[in-house]
Amino acid sequence: MRLPGLVLMLLVFVPWAESVWGLAPIPSFKLRIATASNLAPVTSALTAGFQKRFPGSELEFVLGASGALTTQIQNGAPFDLLLSADEEFPQSLAERGLSLSPPQVYATGKLILLSTQVDLASGLVVLTDPLVRQFALANPETSPYGRAAMQALKASGLWPALKPKAVVAQTITQAVQFTVTATGIGLVNKSALYSSDLSRYLSQEGHRWLPLDPTTYAPLKQALVVLAQGSVGHGSAAARAFVDYLLSEGQLVLAGAGYGPP
C-alpha cells in the first residue's frame, strides 16, 4: 500500500505516535527519571545524546539507591521512569500495577574492588591485611551493588573475618566517596572509573582496581520500567521515546562506561 506523501513526512519527522493514523507531535517536555546512582557517570552523555534526537526535551535524573527510589515511587513520587540497578525493584512496581510496561533490561553492571592506597595484586584477600582497617560497600538492603558485594564476600569465605571492617554506605555513589576519601578501598561499580575523578585509575587494572569474579555474585541485570504516575502531561509516549533511545544509541554510551549489554 502506498502512503500519502504527507503521512510519509510525518513518519519521518515525528518520532512518536499513538498509531500510524493518529500521529501527533509532542511539544517540548521534561522527564523525571528515578535513577540508580551507579549511572551517575553517564547521565550527562545520555542527556546530550537524547537531546540530539529530541531538541525540545529536558531530562532530570534523580539519583539514589534503587530500593529507596522504589519506596518513593510506591509513596506517590511523580517519576516518569525508573532506571534500576537490578530487575527485582522494577518487577515489584509492575506487580503493584505502578508501571505501564514490564521491566526491560538495559545494561549489565560490573562489580570491582577499588583502592587508592594498597596494591591489589593479591586479589580480594588483600582486605584481610592488617594494614587495611576498613573497606566500603553499599547497603545490601537497598543497593543491588551492595547486595552483589555481600554475595561476593560470602562466596570468598572472607566475610566473617571482614565484617568488623565493613563501612556501609547508603548508595553505591556514597561507597565510592567513602573509598576515595575515608577507607581507601571498597567494592564499587566499574562505571565509577569513568568519572572525571577516577579515570586516572582506568589503566591500572590489577593494581588500583580489580574486577570481581562474576560467578561469585548474581548478575547485575539493570532494568527499567515506564511508570504509571509520571509527571509528563503527554502520558507515556515521551518516556517510551527515552526507552527507545536508551536501547539503541544509548547502548554506546553505556558500553563506553564499562557496562555490559542487556
Say yes or no to pLDDT of 5 above 80.
no
What is the average per-residue pLDDT within 27-35?
88
- Structural domains present in the chain: 26-108+220-255 (3.40.190.10), 110-216 (3.40.190.10)
Surface-to-core class of residue 21, CB atoms within 10 Å of its CB (0-12 exposed, 13-18 middle, 19+ buried): exposed
Taking the C-alpha atoms of residue 213 and residue 203, their distance in angstroms, rounded to an integer, is 19
pTM of the model: 0.85
Give residue 201's pLDDT.
Answer: 96
What confidence tens digit (pLDDT) does each residue in 123-151 have?
999 999 999 999 999 999 999 999 999 99
CA distance 109 to 1: 45
203's CB contacts (< 8 A; 6+ apart) are none
pLDDT digits (tens, 9 = 90+) for 246-260: 999 999 999 999 999
Mean pLDDT over 209-222 rounds to 97
How far separated are the first and last CA of the chain, in Å rounded?
36
Evaluate the CA torsion angle 229, 230, 233, 234 in order and state its sign: negative
